[in-house]
Structure 1
Amino acid sequence: MLPLPKSTHQERMAQNTDIFDFELTDSEMTQISALENLGGQCMVPDDVDF
């Protein structure tokens, strides 16, 4: 799972790159590893209907 934030505001873009202020526990990593792989991908976020 990889969220890709989209913004045109300089301050928010800087905040979006500040991604190293947390840690995942072993339990959280196990839960993430157990998620079903749905195989979805999109190379151009503007082309996705949410």
Structure 2
Amino acid sequence: MDYPVFAQLLGNFGFPIAVTLFLLVKLEKKMEHLESAIHTLSKAVTAIKAKERR
């Protein structure tokens, strides 16, 4: 592959790939916090249901 073709491909696709990777890394922590909050909420709902059955 010629250098100009490679440079053009990198210019066309390199930036979107870099932005995507950056966003995935940044959002990973937020997704982990969201997952934790969902598990906590699920436990709370289960506990409320258990109290209602008594």
Q: TM-score, normalised by structure 1?
A: 0.28
User: Which protein has the bigger helix share?
Assistant: 2
Q: Give the structure with higher Rg (CA).
A: 2
Higher RCO (CA-CA < 8 Å; seq separation 6+): 1
